[in-house]
Amino acid sequence: MSRALPQQFLERMKSLLGDDFENFKDALENGSPSQSMFINTAFENAHIPEEFLRSINASRLPFFENGFYFEYEGIGNTPLHHAGAFYVQDPSAMCTVCAAVIKPGTKILDMCASPGGKTLLAAIKTGQHGAVVANEFSVSRCKTLVGNAERMGLSNISVVNTDATDENGLSKDFPETFDIVIADAPCSGEGMFRKYTEQAVSEWSVDNIKLCAARQKSILENAAKCVKPGGFLLYSTCTFSLEENEMQTDAFLCSHPDFSLCGVNDGVKSVTVRAHCFDGCKTPDISLARRFYPHISKGEGQYIALMQKSADSASESVSVPSKKKKNGDVRPSNLLSKEETRALTDFFKGLYPGFDISRAEKYADNIIYVHPNMPRAKKHVFSGGVKLGEVSKGRLIPHHQLFKALGTQFTRVINFSYDDERVYSYLHGDTFAYDIPDGWCAVSVNGFILGGAKAVTGTVKNHYPKGLRI
């Protein structure tokens, strides 16, 4: 069914695309959004069976070996999805993170993170020696972000709740801190016309484009201050307007001579086209930025600009972070009590002997595990680490996230195949029989952790959260 798009938008795109406009218009009005996902490769002994990939008609993305197109309705109800084996994300959005080379151990800031696809992919790519700080202004969207990180079982993500445009926010907490800063800025959403037609069209106007551009400028200003010398700033939008894309990049580079545009990797080049050089553009290599068009590649609209900060450009305008205290930067108020330490020790004894209890601290009413390489925010922390649980009557009441993030390290793990009927029994919340030593254990599907359980004389008592059951 043909989509009705704003006439003024179509006129602007015709002026921009010229002879290619009709192909673009047809794809946007009559084309169908594609389905794609990336595989969670964070866990060495976990895998998605080839039979499952065949059952969803999966085909590999041309720019990412762990990304796949698929054709399957209801994929969110499969055991592997519950286990965090993959994350469903549009290929153009996936393409953004893949544009930069993320090495293991990289420290990353995602400025506008929810629902978290870019955060999760970045966290997987940087691995357990790296860390991602994910920022989101909306509290409800922070909850979504934390929920997605929990489902994927990732322990190297923290979430902060600040306004990315606030000059006293992220850039004050993290001056010149990150190897990569991702600024996937809120935009006019033209690239989503095909996917969310009614909402995106109703909100579109030239005035809104101008408002978005002003907000993006503030976000980029703060993002630049968080990039360490030699680091990268990855700017992206899901819109087509020059004002929010090439013009925004050009204005930023003109006012920040310590940054320069970089080429993206060859895989991303293969599914994108050069950015547009507009009248008055002062950046001679603006074409190094890339555009993802739905009439050229399978996916929705996206703009990507990868910029690097000069290695010798340490700023005089940012404050130097205070030196960390001994034992990491755990503040005395966050230290565990003797009872909490004892309860945590008892819980992990024999279950996870290598657990580093020195990384556990108190946060509100919960005990959390803080990733050793995580940059720490001074304020507005929504989620500072993996929620381990709370202590009651001398015992740890474990949180679901404890099993999801740490379960692969347990000595007691029940591992089912994705097509085992007992998996569905677990997801229903049922108690079941299984020959495993008594005590807490993790339940997994093909190596991906579903959640926790407690074995008592051959009977496994289910601890899968009621709100997640099917």
Task: In whole angstroms, give the CA distance from residue 106 to residue 272.
Answer: 25
Task: In whole angstroms, give the CA distance from residue 291 to residue 305.
Answer: 9
Say if 213 falls within a structural domain: yes
CA distances, 321 to each of 4, 208, 325, 378 (Å):
52, 37, 12, 11
Find where tokens 């003797």 sit.
338
CA distances, 272 to each of 95, 208, 302, 308, 379 (Å):
9, 26, 9, 20, 39
Say if 187 falls within a structural domain: yes
According to the model, what pLDDT value does residue 311 have?
A: 93
410 in helix, strand or coil?
Answer: coil
pTM given for the model: 0.94
Q: Which residues pair with 68 in a beta bridge?
A: 37, 60
Task: In whole angstroms, give the CA distance from residue 430 to residue 424.
Answer: 9
Say if 299 falls within a structural domain: yes
According to the model, what pLDDT value does residue 314 have?
A: 62
**Amino acid occupying residue 230:** G
Tokens of 32: 């169908």
Say if 82 falls within a structural domain: no
Say if 442 falls within a structural domain: no
Say if 137 falls within a structural domain: no
Q: Give the domain range for residue 249.
A: 7-19+90-112+164-309
At a CB cut-off of 8 Å and minimum separation 6, what does 436 contact?
412, 414, 455, 460
Closest CA to 454 of 425, 428, 434: 434
Say if 354 falls within a structural domain: no
Say if 62 falls within a structural domain: no
Number of domains making up the chain: 1
Instruction: Give, for all 470 residues of the chain, the pLDDT tens digit.
Output: 578 999 999 999 999 999 999 999 999 999 999 999 999 999 999 999 999 999 999 999 999 999 999 999 999 999 999 999 999 999 999 999 999 999 999 999 999 999 999 999 999 999 999 999 999 999 999 999 999 999 999 999 999 999 999 999 999 999 999 999 999 999 999 999 999 999 999 999 999 999 999 999 999 999 999 999 999 999 999 999 999 999 999 999 999 999 999 999 999 999 999 999 999 999 999 999 999 999 999 999 999 999 999 998 765 544 444 444 444 444 446 899 999 999 999 999 999 999 999 999 998 778 999 999 999 998 899 999 999 999 999 999 999 999 999 999 999 999 999 999 999 999 999 999 999 999 999 999 999 999 999 999 999 999 999 999 99
Residue 222: which H helix or E strand, with range?
A: helix 206-226
